[in-house]
Structure 1
Amino acid sequence: MHNLKPVRLNELKLEATFLLKDLKNNSRQTSETLSRFKVIPSLFNKADTLITQGKHVKLKHAYQVLALERGFKNWSDLKHFVVEKDCLYRPHLVPYVHSWFKQYQSAMEYHQKHGGYLLAFWGDIIVCGEEYIKGLELDVCQAEWQAVAYDWVRPMDQMAWQVLSEKAKSNYLKL
């Protein structure tokens, strides 16, 4: 089971880059960094000097280390999980959040009373307005929003939600 706190995909990519640099720079952290890379079966039996010289270690290995440390089988699974959980979150759009919730029921009641869009990321549920949706570049999908009843968490129409989800993930990956 994974133990992952909210994180941006770009932060993970940057962390992997620094992890690889730490290994190759022979810094005082190299032995600790080396042990982190040794969790990868293909590197486990390699001589430490071969690993630290970088002949057998690539950025893909750093991604793998981060995935394994967080309880995922591989980078692809970690990346997919983060994109799913984080594709609707933009720090610069937070001022456009009307209200923030931990429970769906409370969010849904607020949404029914005040309108807007009900979204989720990580363990949070928000109700926001059109400004947030425009910032996500999902305002072009008005027919889909209407079909899901403006509710990302429990959409009325799964096909429409799938269109929104794919667009949101695609936009997120362009960041």
Structure 2
Amino acid sequence: MDPIDDLKHRARILHRDAQAKDPAALARVRALATLRTLDDETLARTVRRAHALAVLAEELGFRSWAHLAAVVRGDDDERDRGTWLYPRECGGHFNVWSASYDEARAIRAEHGGFLLPYRHHFVIVDEAYIETAGLDPKREEWTRIGRDWVRPEDREAHGRLVLELVRARLDVAA
């Protein structure tokens, strides 16, 4: 399944649940600054699918739905790759940071690990970090992408990892 399709499906569910005045869905949608002050009745009438998409994007660490979609699709023009691969619970892990992709790639090649993006920077992390982030570091997809999330060798394998990450992160948020 395509990660974007999965996200759109999740947005449909969130939108429907918010319109039905589900308290958890309303709380998630209310995280958007433009909807924060609305009472439940008004919020249920006001919420649109675009709001649900924006909520998912923010929950995953992106500025907007367009930003999320560009990063997930691998748009090379998108230099800010969001914060979704650096969740708060990973802050205690040791890792190596670099402002240069080439430097990060060389470090990863020499010392091992996994190369991940963070906004405009790059992070080399270990298996424990990957597990804490909600992914399985033993999946063959990591080998297929060369353990490089930024410039994966196999786009299909990368897509499966993206889908795993989306499910891990949003199933917790829901």
> Shorter-chain TM-score: what band?
0.5 to 0.7
Distance in 2 between residues matched to 1:82 and 1:91, nearest whole Å: 23
1:129 to 97, 112, 126: 126
Deviations 1:114-157 (Å, cap 9, x if unpaired)?
A: 11110113222100001111112322652111111111111122
Q: How many Å apart are 1:166 and its aligned residue? A: 1.3
Q: Who is 1:20 aligned against?
A: 35
Deviations 1:58-115 (Å, cap 9, x if unpaired)?
A: 2339939x79xxxxxxx98348449843331211212224111221011111111111
- Point out 4+ residue stretches in structure 1 off by more than 4 angstroms: 81-84
1:77 to 65, 69, 87: 65
**1 or 2 for the larger relative contact order (CA 8 Å, sep ≥6)?**
2
Q: Matched residue pairs, number?
A: 128
| Residues 1:166 and 2:163 aligned together | yes
Q: Any stretches of 5+ residues in structure 1 without a counterpart?
A: 1-11, 25-52, 68-74
Q: Secondary structure at the match of 1:174?
A: helix
**Structure 2 CA distance for partners of 1:122 and 1:14, relative to 1, 3 Å:** farther
Considering only CA atoms, is the larger Rg found in Structure 1 or Structure 2? 1
Does the 8 A contact of 1:117 with 1:127 survive in 2?
A: yes
| Residues 1:102 and 2:99 aligned together | yes
Q: RMSD over aligned Cα, in angstroms?
A: 3.6
Distance in 1 between residues matched to 2:140 and 2:49, nearest whole Å: 42
Q: Any stretches of 5+ residues in structure 2 without a counterpart?
A: 1-27, 56-62, 73-81
Identical columns (%): 24
Q: How many Å apart are 1:23 and its aligned residue? A: 5.0
Distance in 2 between residues matched to 1:21 and 1:147, nearest whole Å: 43
| Residues 1:60 and 2:48 aligned together | yes
TM-score of the superposition, structure 2-length normalised?
A: 0.58
**Structure 2 CA distance for partners of 1:55 and 1:130, relative to 1, 3 Å:** closer
